[in-house]
């Protein structure tokens, strides 16, 4: 059974930094996608940053230049370094990992970690 364990969330003042991590266990196939999403109260879940299999990262406009996504393939772990945090970054952050081979693809979600940025 695949498990995604997220950590690194917490309370930080505006301008501060946090690093989120998401470690996957029980992966059977090749990981071909890793991403971070977030959901603020009353809003839909949105993409924050992602690394598809090609390795080219993609960021939401709201976090460009402040957040960095990177991965450790040996540990099946994806990270999100968040700098210059703003109150509007407050949300529950979820990691998403996709594994697969040929036409088979499985998507896994973490349970989420709360990030709160005070002004």
Read off the pLDDT of residues 11-68 as tens digits, 9 standing for 90 and up. 999 999 999 999 999 988 999 999 999 999 999 999 999 998 878 999 999 999 999 9
Q: Supply the pLDDT for residue 17.
A: 98
Beta carbons within 8 Å of 116's beta carbon, 6+ residues apart? 10, 11, 12, 90
Q: Supply the pLDDT for residue 59.
A: 98
Q: Supply the pLDDT for residue 39.
A: 98
DSSP per-residue codes, 9-70: -EEEETT--EEEEEEEES--SEEEEEEEEEE-TTS--EEEEEEETT---EE-TTTTTTEEEE
Read off the pLDDT of residues 62-114 as tens digits, 9 standing for 90 and up. 999 999 999 999 999 999 999 999 999 999 999 999 999 888 889 999 999 99
Q: 118 and 11 in contact (C-beta within 8 Å)?
A: yes
Closest by CA position to 33, among listed 112, 110, 113, 107: 107
Average pLDDT, the chain: 95
Beta carbons within 8 Å of 39's beta carbon, 6+ residues apart? 45, 46, 91, 92, 94, 112
């Amino acid at each position: 059974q695949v498990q995604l364990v997220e950590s690194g969330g917490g309370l930080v003042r505006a301008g501060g930094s946090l690093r989120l991590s998401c470690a996957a266990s029980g992966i059977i196939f090749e990981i071909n996608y890793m991403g971070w999403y977030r959901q603020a109260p009353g809003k839909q879940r949105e993409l924050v940053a992602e690394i598809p299999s090609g390795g080219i990262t993609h960021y939401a406009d709201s976090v460009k230049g402040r957040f960095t996504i990177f991965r450790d393939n040996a540990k099946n772990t994806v990270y999100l370094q968040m700098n210059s945090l703003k109150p509007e970054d407050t949300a529950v952050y979820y990691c998403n990992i996709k594994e697969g081979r040929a036409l088979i693809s499985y998507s896994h979600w973490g349970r989420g970690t709360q990030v709160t940025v005070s002004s």
